[in-house]
Amino acid sequence: MDGVWQRWMCIGQGEASPVVTHTDRGPGGVKAAPSTLSALCAAPLGRDNGGLSAVIANDARRTSMPLQVVETVSPAHEDGVWSLAWKGDRIFTGGCDDKAKVWAVGRPADHGVDAVPTAVRFLLEDHLLPVVSVGLSSDGNFGVSASMDFTIKLWDFEKLADVGARPLLRSIDCGPGESWTVSLSSDAQRIATGSHTGKIHLYECSSGDKLLSLDSPTGKMVMAQAFSIGMGTGDRLAVGSVDGGVAIVDIEAGKAVSKWSNHSKAVRSLSWAPDGVAMLSASDDGTVCIYDSRQSSTVDIMVAHESLALCVAVSPCGTQVASGGSDKKVRLWDLKTRTASSSLADAHSDAVWSLAWNDAGTRLASASDDKTVNMYQCTA
């Protein structure tokens, strides 16, 4: 279909208006006109901007960890694929077709052994509107999905082994405007979501009850959030807002412990490094920012994409970062040197909305508005 019902206009410009309008597809509003790479490079983005801009223009330097497409699932959904998560041998996707799907991860051909294609194990049709966000527990047995119908659904995928069993555990009706993307805590006990009015809501998975609500540090629509995953890093939640603000919230204290304002447009995605110290954000301004949560400092600002940077994901080993954008590209970055190590200009034929690594950090999956999911082999 030519677009979907969108609840927010002008997301790419850092402003939101609660108007239901039939417009260009993509979770969170219209696709902003792509800014030129030269304009991005000229903006006051932060330390080492010039060098990082040059990296994007210099394909010869992208050699340390090449990306190789080993499988394309097409079509993965009947419309754009907006979110995916990967744990163990299970991938969970959500799409603009109002559906979520559970996939059994395939295996590429190797030394004479035939390839096993990635295949749908379960089709979930409980949402009434596009599925904006999905998440999986560390063992892949528990899932969560959030939709533009303002519901969050919790799933028990262990029930998939029982013929005829429905994996839906419960549905949380958040109310109009009170949910967007979701994040699942590392112990799979809590769900975080953000509201269009600048609230952060936490729900208990076992009961579906709301545990608490906090004000967003910026007071603006919460576009993304991510629980800290490192050991000994405390009970912290990274939050990204429509105005470009990024913060880390101490949940127990109920307040922000770090704030940044490096981005000039909406923050679409957040990802923690496994050490729980480094945290990254991707924004409509085309950049990916790296933060030191311990020092509350900005490590670097990378000019990542020629238009909107829609997603970012740190590898489980903490050495590589993947980013995807509305320029249809998937890029790999070395987190230590903060240089581009690989780039696929033709990864998809439309915007790349979501990325997920396998547990070993050797394979990557991307979801796109072109209805496909790509699987990549990442080789050193």
Take residue 2 and report the two structure tokens written for it: 């030519």
CB neighbour list of residue 353: distance below 8 Å, 6 or more residues apart: 26, 27, 80, 81, 82, 83, 310, 311, 324, 367, 368, 369
Q: What angle do CA 152, 196, 188 make, to 5 degrees?
A: 35
Dist CA 246 CA 296 (whole Å) = 11
CB neighbour list of residue 119: distance below 8 Å, 6 or more residues apart: 103, 104, 106
Q: Which domain holds residue 341?
A: 4-378
Do the Cβ atoms of 105 and 86 come closer than 8 Å? yes
Half-sphere exposure of 247 (CA within 13 A, CB side): 23
Dist CA 369 CA 348 (whole Å) = 8
Do the Cβ atoms of 63 and 46 come closer than 8 Å? no
pLDDT in tens, the chain (380 residues): 333 334 333 333 333 332 222 234 466 553 433 332 223 232 333 333 333 333 333 332 333 457 889 999 999 999 999 999 999 999 999 999 999 999 999 987 776 788 899 999 999 999 999 999 999 999 999 999 999 999 999 999 987 666 667 889 999 999 999 999 999 998 999 999 999 999 999 999 999 999 999 999 989 999 999 999 765 555 899 999 999 999 999 998 989 999 999 999 999 999 999 999 999 999 999 999 999 999 999 999 999 999 999 999 999 999 999 999 999 999 999 999 988 888 888 889 999 999 999 999 999 999 999 999 999 998 65
Domain count, the chain: 1
CATH number, domain containing residue 229: 2.130.10.10
Take residue 266 and report the two structure tokens written for it: 């909406």
